[in-house]
Structure 1
């Protein structure tokens, strides 16, 4: 059953992070940062021309983005203050179209790319 579950996961059209995700690469990341600085860092991830920020709410800590090009993605980034100098960042990425060999690995790689860029700018807590 595990092999079938892995095969079916490959064809999922969305990927998201969470605190207790079974995949360590997709667990929420915590940074030593104030909410405003972390929010700005996440917003800077989407400052290039291939991204279009659809909506943003600093109060809720949510940024909604469309990535144009290939693959075409819809991204929701969430920035939540956990403690005074501890902020969590989560991503939910979904694809408009599927691929023959599945889109899950592409979506997971996108999340890894975003976390990698944040890791180079901010100090991780966990």
Structure 2
């Protein structure tokens, strides 16, 4: 049954991080940062021409982005203050169209890429 579950997951068109995710790579990341600094670092991830910021709300800590190119992605980034100097960052990435070999691995790689960039800019909470 586990093999079938893994195969079906490969063809999912969205990938999301959370605190209790079964995959350790897709667990929420926590940073030693004020909300504003973490929010700006996440917003900077999407400053290149391949991204189009659709909406942003600093008060809610939510950034909605469309990634043009292949594959075309829709991204929601959430920045939440947990405690003073502790901020959580989560991503939800979905694809407009599927691929023959599945899109889940591409979406997961995209999230890992965002977290790697943030890890160079912000200090992680241990």
Deviation (angstroms), 1:51: 0.1
Question: What SS class does the counterpart of residue 70 from structure 1 fall into?
Answer: coil
Q: Which residue of 2 aligns with 1:19?
A: 19
TM-score after normalising by structure 1? 0.99
Question: What SS class does the counterpart of residue 75 from structure 1 fall into?
Answer: strand
Q: Distance in 1 between matches of 2:33 and 2:124?
A: 9
Q: Which residue of 2 aligns with 1:40?
A: 40
RMSD of Structure 2 on Structure 1 (CA): 0.3
Q: Distance in 2 between matches of 1:82 and 1:44?
A: 21
1:1-126 → structure 2 map (5 Å cutoff): 1-126=1-126
Q: Distance in 1 between matches of 2:11 and 2:49?
A: 28
Q: Distance in 2 between matches of 1:15 and 1:25?
A: 12
Matched length: 126
Query: Structure 1, residues 87-122: CA drift from partner, whole Å, max 9, x if none?
Result: 000000000000000000000000000000000000
Query: Structure 1, residues 51-73: CA drift from partner, whole Å, max 9, x if none?
Result: 00000000000000000001100
Question: What SS class does the counterpart of residue 44 from structure 1 fall into?
Answer: helix
Question: What SS class does the counterpart of residue 101 from structure 1 fall into?
Answer: coil
Q: Distance in 1 between matches of 2:90 and 2:61?
A: 10
Question: What SS class does the counterpart of residue 82 from structure 2 fall into?
Answer: strand
